[in-house]
Amino acid sequence: MHLELISFKLCPFVQRSVITLLHKKAPFDISYIDLSEPPAWFFKISPFRRVPVLRVDDKTVLFESAIINEFIDDVTAGSLMPADPLQKAQNRGWIQFGEQCLVDQYHLSTAENGKSWEESLAKAHHNLAKIEGMLGEGPYFNGESFSLVDAAFAPLFMRYALWPRTLGALPSEEFPRLVSWSKTLLGLPEVQQSVVDDFHLLYAEHIREHGGYLANAFPVNSR
């Protein structure tokens, strides 16, 4: 089976699928597009003009990172979802909630001023507290083994780890279990290798292009 992931270098949703593909050691090709100027072929294959899309055997196209990840999991050896249907359904719920956490993070990254930053931070923390409150001893979301929930949240943690600590986006006093989970995930090779080599530079540049509160806090990098 030939798998081709269509990606935008900074997209956290694509990254979820790259992590899953790498974790499952599934061979795949990755094609990058510029989301600000997508090529004509992308409009033909992506029903909602969003990445990720996974092209299977050069013809069938799947969309939505959570769905793509379950497909990758289904067609490769072993399972990254709990066998128990109830726990599996709960995992799906948290994966879906992970999208809200990424949206919160995006709102923070584009907050225009201190006031909107504070408002967005309160919202983001309100949502992160929900996960903090139900996380167990770890090291992974489901305990001892890596699952698709881990693949779904790692991109969020990778971005927060690049933000100046002084901003208090993910303070360890408030979120000790989240911070410990984040450290576990960011230490995994499949997470570290799930972005392009100069991701941190591209990300910082992207933040600065937005302007606003977070942009002012990012150090200027030379590329």
Ligand X SMILES: N[C@@H](CCC(=O)N[C@@H](CS)C(=O)NCC(=O)O)C(=O)O
Pick from 64, 70, 73, 104: which binds ligand X (CB under 6 A)?
64
Under the criterion CB under 6 A, does residue 11 sit at the interface with ligand X? Answer: yes
146 makes contact with ligand X (CB under 6 A): no
Q: How far is Cα 211 from Cα 88, in angstroms, rounded to an integer?
A: 40
Check binding of 30 to ligand X (CB under 6 A): no
For residue 149, state whether it binds ligand X (rule: CB under 6 A).
no
**Binding residues for ligand X, how many (CB under 6 A)?**
12
Rule CB under 6 A: is residue 186 a binding residue for ligand X? no
Of 179 and 185, nearer to ligand X (C-beta) is 185
For the bound state, the minimum distance from the C-beta of residue 122 to ligand X, rounded and expressed in Å, comes to: 23
Note whether 49 binds ligand X by CB under 6 A.
yes
Rounded CA-CA distance 166/179 in Å is 15
Interface residue with ligand X, options 65, 109, 182, 184 (CB under 6 A): 65
- Residue 2 within binding range of ligand X, rule CB under 6 A: no
124 near ligand X, rule: CB under 6 A: no
Q: Does 50 bind ligand X (CB under 6 A)?
A: yes
Nearest distance from residue 222's CB to ligand X, in Å? 26
The residue whose two tokens read 């600000």 is: 36
Q: Which residues bind ligand X (CB under 6 A)?
A: 8, 11, 13, 35, 49-52, 64-66, 99
